[in-house]
Structure 1
């Protein structure tokens, strides 16, 4: 009897920085994407043949997932929050894939010297109201902008839909200010715009989303989703750690281990659970042991010095490709979300 797995349709960004970073992440996770050419809209993941890849504009991927044309998709969290208003059939499976980072911010002309905070902006809207005008805000994120400003009790404004270069709106005269995404702030400065204090509406990066109904109704699709999530989570976790192996002289493995554990000035210097110690077989000297510890990246030098104090030498450092926990935390959270909505 053959084991039939339902094909999982995965939508990925078709071009730009998000496409390149998505491809790099999946490749690092052992899920390299095959795309015959840049003009092809279909691809595959050879290591996971049950997945059919569809390439789409990042802005359209949410819609494809929501309508059920695909089961899973990778896009910006900002897109999900903006388009997700009133659409409950999309679940965020992993919201921090580590790239595509940006912020949705309010920006005003640099010439507005008296406006540097959200409080200043609130006062400005009242001045506009006294003159019988609305503050015009150009944005591609009307839902997020409107809801956020309402929460701040700022109501005297109108939103201007812009499809082209957002930053030009104030200088062109069809808006007073903008609400747009920025990663470095360079484009804002080049267009003589400035962010205001307290004016960050949303922090975003690439995320993995799925269609609730399609995943709930098909256990094999859930199983494939778990595979994808496990590999991504373990790869992202691995970036936090380094593995150190050192040769340490000692009378016994217990002596070396006890010294490392009992003379540790900081927690975490002896590894995730503790050092792994093995006998080094040498013709010249029998009192050497190989010690391996896995520590967080920011503790590398401290751990090296700790091993030196224990008599360590010949240290080599490697970076793990994956660090798996006892279970996938993200997958457990995802299952709980599905149960809540079922």
Structure 2
């Protein structure tokens, strides 16, 4: 029996719930014997184990080869892996758990509204013998961002628990922390600096160069996971429209439909003759099926109405597969380059 592919995901809390929902939506339902066990599997797919880990530990597991694939926050990957060649980002944006790593200062700092103001303040405090203190759980990203933006005089304070209270408690002057809505920052009388977004992040899929390089069976199982996720994400961008249109013939219907960019479809519309229940084959009704980008849906519907369409129905595809998996191809190229 060959070694299974190991997929590491969050072990608890909102991140675990969101990841499980995402995987189930992609046709990758996770089976876990009980909440206290840290190894599960993908239902209906042989040879793939699911490892339940802390989100921060997932990056380390992938880096060392303890896990072959992992789903965790891009913020953690950027902070903990950096330029580590053993951690490959397969898909940077899985579409859930969006957040931003930001610099936030007390609302009472009326004269400090931009990152440039913060740089000036750091210089002024330096002259007075005082150092700007920044509380954060992301020291690498925060240090790099501050230096890149001209803030050279500061001390990073390792954060534990809720960082929003750090300025009020006096052990830091400002914070660099994750926020989704900004509500918690405002409740603690903090505000984000203009130009103070260090990183925009979300859940991402990463892979281990160490464990997948020269492991053809594991790589094939990885392709299954990547293909299904990629096709599921692509499907969110499209809608499938079906409508009945009267016309002299198929070419006449095609001319009506393709007269607007919203209804041209991916390669073009599919047109099929409708055989009415009345049995009158001279009626000239045709069924048109097109795939349209989601943001052009109403434009497409309006144009079909102008063309005399009836019975317009819209559905969302579960998957949209391309001619090949671009994400998997990128992974294979990265593995070859590092071989």
TM-score, normalised to structure 2's length? 0.96
Q: Deviations over 1:44-68 (max 9, x none)?
A: 1122221011101111111111122
Q: 1:272 aligns with which of 236, 257, 266?
A: 266
Question: 1:308 is paired with a residue of what secondary structure?
Answer: helix
1:28 maps onto 2:25 in alignment: yes
Match of 1:79 in 2: 76
Match of 2:123 in 1: 126
CA contact (8 A) 1:30 1:47 kept: no
Q: 2:92 aligns with which of 92, 95, 100?
A: 95
In terms of mean alpha carbon deviation, does 281-290 or 106-115 score higher?
281-290
Question: 2:57 is paired with a residue of what secondary structure?
Answer: helix
Partners of 1:125 and 1:88 in 2: CA distance: 35
1:217 maps onto 2:214 in alignment: yes
1:245 maps onto 2:242 in alignment: yes
Q: Deviations over 1:261-288 (max 9, x none)?
A: 2x22xx2422111110111112424221
Partners of 2:320 and 2:123 in 1: CA distance: 54
Partners of 1:283 and 1:83 in 2: CA distance: 65
Structure 1, gaps ≥5 residues long:
none
Question: 1:31 is paired with a residue of what secondary structure?
Answer: coil
In terms of mean alpha carbon deviation, does 302-311 or 316-325 score higher?
302-311
Match of 2:276 in 1: 282
**Backbone CA RMSD of aligned residues:** 1.3
1:201 maps onto 2:198 in alignment: yes
Question: 2:89 is paired with a residue of what secondary structure?
Answer: strand
TM-score, normalised to structure 1's length? 0.95
Partners of 1:273 and 1:17 in 2: CA distance: 40
Match of 1:163 in 2: 160
Match of 2:56 in 1: 59
Shift of 1:12: 0.8
CA contact (8 A) 1:43 1:54 kept: yes
Segments ≥4 residues shifted beyond 4 Å: none
1:107 maps onto 2:104 in alignment: yes
1:258 maps onto 2:252 in alignment: no
Structure 2, gaps ≥5 residues long:
none
Partners of 2:131 and 2:310 in 1: CA distance: 70
CA contact (8 A) 1:270 1:303 kept: no
- Per the alignment, do residues 86 and 232 of structure 1 end up closer, same or farther by CA in structure 2, a change over 3 Å counting? closer
Match of 2:150 in 1: 153
